[in-house]
Structure 1
């Protein structure tokens, strides 16, 4: 069974390159004819994070030809690199389960208890949100989930001053985008100060050894949140500013950058391969959403793994397989989206499928 194979061969599966996560779909994927030797990596090297980059396996005669293909995002620490390679390895071979939390239903385990009580399993990924300036609470729950061996993803609903929550992300905006994105202005300094609020929290997670699937400015191309109201060019500039600030100033090597499109998936909003690790779409339409998946493929080809970063009703394994919709993970939204939009018998079947990876089946990082 696929899941058993993944469990037994996790060390092999995570050998997908940090540079190119392709599954031979063709856009930037190197063909066998372009490679003159294979990389040899031992299990001990995988466990210690000593494996070499794929670009070291290329023939010296192909170096200049493949220089553009070999561009990579920021260097990641050993644990983060292992998690990223594992995610890459899931493309077309399995799907990692995920669930967004709520914190207002009497227990911060509300969704996770519901899933376990109905399936006997926990999701592999826990979704959190720095909304309402809950940096301490989110970090505490992230560290607890990390200790269980799980994967953490964090988004951030906030106003244009990078504070408060959902209403503010809908109802605020940057008054002058040009000044806000121009270094040396008071508006730019204010924006950096706001961005740094989450950076400081992410540094705490870095120091605790926690890797984060960082999903800022999600649904940017939808037009409803302030970070999308300035248009695609301003959004791309802002994304790159945050990426540079977090990577080069704050030295956050524990982040896997997730570029989360809405269900529209407009390509001119894409920041570029050098600034993104995972690309995804979300949709609350039932089914596998193969059209959204194909839209993302049209933007990034096989250069990045593709996730279903928000959904309501979880697509069935049969739907995913028959439509060749190779999301690397799904993440169901909180409260009624998991409890009311998913039939309990379907939920149990999905979480116990050999194709779906749950918390107990993740490799040791």
Structure 2
């Protein structure tokens, strides 16, 4: 209770200060494109108004019972609108099989352009193949140390640079109708405080992780001239304090968005702790306010939606308590029966989800009024 009170006091002071200096809120990249600056300012404005953009991973790519159908998403099936933010992943760009890599890269470019033309926002994570041996991103299936080896001077730095060149080439293809680079939110090395990815806890020192983050951002920005990216820092929910959260923070000059991935506090086995989730979101939001950054719930959801009132009774209270710009629900798998995070029309949680999405503070694509896309002005 005392911790929550302190957070509320700090948050109030931070909000007042940020209101005074709102005109100074810009991306950390001083060469950011006009559209990227406008996107950043729009997200900051939405956050300050206590509204939340709702997104979903792979939402327009497939759903529980369909795949590759034009203008469809499970969220639209239920609510009448697509999500305002689309989550995608850079994983195919470095896949070992060339035909798959080329076809999936083209598909991703098309999806980015389509979402941008609709007026939505795009965010990318990166389930990266291990550059040392080309193996999977999961540590349990490929326990190969890599972070130290892909830094400058490491034996696999050249391979990692080739990965970054592929991302640079991809981003260069993502252009709007007037040739403008489409702004992208990039969330590298997500959930790094867990041990399930090769870049995660126990597989690199704090110094190595921070160096890798800075090297990645600097290479894309300074070496490849990519200036239409906002960078999101998103650990899992292992932290308990601000110090925990910032333990591997690479610095304000390398981050635009402060986030959190949280599934552990919303487990389908019933061992949920919404109060803990809210407290952690408060930590993220307060730090973001203090630093003049954007806050977000970068991944979340209740797998299988075992609680039919979860959206209004669990998620909604947290989203209204703390200022944050967006919340992204995880994907609805087309081939894993229990792996879904948004209800379909026949699901017991469908009515609750509709009610949740009708709240004034929730922004779907039909409600999104951004200025960053010059095509829509």
TM-score, scaled relative to structure 2: 0.72
Q: Residues 81 and 277 (structure 1 numbering): CA distance in 2 closer, same or farther, change over 3 Å? A: same
User: Residue 343 of structure 2 aligns with which residue?
Assistant: 339
CA gap 1:242/1:26 in 2 versus in 1, 3 angstroms: same
Report if aligned partners of 1:99, 1:111 keep a CA contact under 8 Å in 2.
Answer: no
Select 1:200's aligned residue among 151, 169, 187: 169
Q: Secondary structure of 2:212's partner?
A: helix
**CA-atom RMSD in angstroms:** 3.3
Quickly say closer, same or farther: Cα 1:109–1:311, change in 2 above 3 A. farther
Provide, for residues 304-333 of structure 1, a one-character-per-residue CA deviation record: whole Å limited to 9, x for no partner: 1110011114743751366x2223111111
Alignment partner of 1:258 out of 232, 235, 251: 232
Which deviates more from structure 2 when the two are superposed, residues 215-224 or residues 332-341? Answer: 332-341
How many residues matched? 310
Find the counterpart in structure 2 of residue 282 from structure 1.
261
Q: Deviations over 1:186-216 (max 9, x none)?
A: 4322221222222221121155631111111
Given the superposition, is the C-alpha separation of residues 349 and 24 from structure 1 closer, same or farther in structure 2, using an over 3 Å criterion?
same
Checking the alignment, whether the CA contact within 8 Å between 1:143 and 1:208 is kept in structure 2 is: no
Structural mapping, 1:213-292, within 5 Å: 213-228=185-200, 229-265=203-239, 266-284=245-263, 285-286=265-266, 287=274, 289-292=277-280
**CA-CA distance at 1:273 after TM superposition:** 0.8
**Aligned partners of 2:24, 2:199: CA distance in 1, in Å?**
35
Q: Secondary structure at the match of 1:302?
A: helix
Instruction: Sort the Cα spacing of 1:110 and 1:258 in 2 relative to 1 into closer, same or farther, 3 A.
Output: farther
> 5+ unaligned residues in a row in structure 1: which ranges?
1-21, 40-52, 56-69
Aligned partner of 1:306 in structure 2 is 295
Displacement after TM superposition at 1:152 (Å)? 0.5
Cα separation, partners in 2 of 1:108 and 1:163, compared to 1, 3 Å? farther
Q: Is the 1:199–1:246 contact (alpha carbons within 8 Å) kept by the matching residues of 2?
A: yes
Give the structure 2 partner of residue 131 of structure 1: 91
Q: Distance in 2 between matches of 1:71 and 1:331?
A: 21
User: Secondary structure of 1:239's partner?
Assistant: helix
With over 3 angstroms needed to count, the CA separation of the structure-2 counterparts of 1:315 and 1:237, relative to structure 1, is: farther
Q: TM-score by structure 1 length?
A: 0.74
**TM-superposed deviation, 1:233:** 1.9
Aligned twin of 1:9: none
Unaligned runs of 5+ residues in structure 2 are 1-9, 94-103, 240-244, 267-273, 303-309, 333-339
SS of 1:226's equivalent in the other structure is coil
Note the C-alpha offset of 1:164.
7.3
Q: Which of the numbers 65, 84, 91 marks the counterpart of 2:47?
A: 91
Alignment partner, residue 151 of structure 1: 121
Shift of residue 111, structure 1, vs aligned partner? 11
What is the SS of the residue equivalent to 2:47? coil
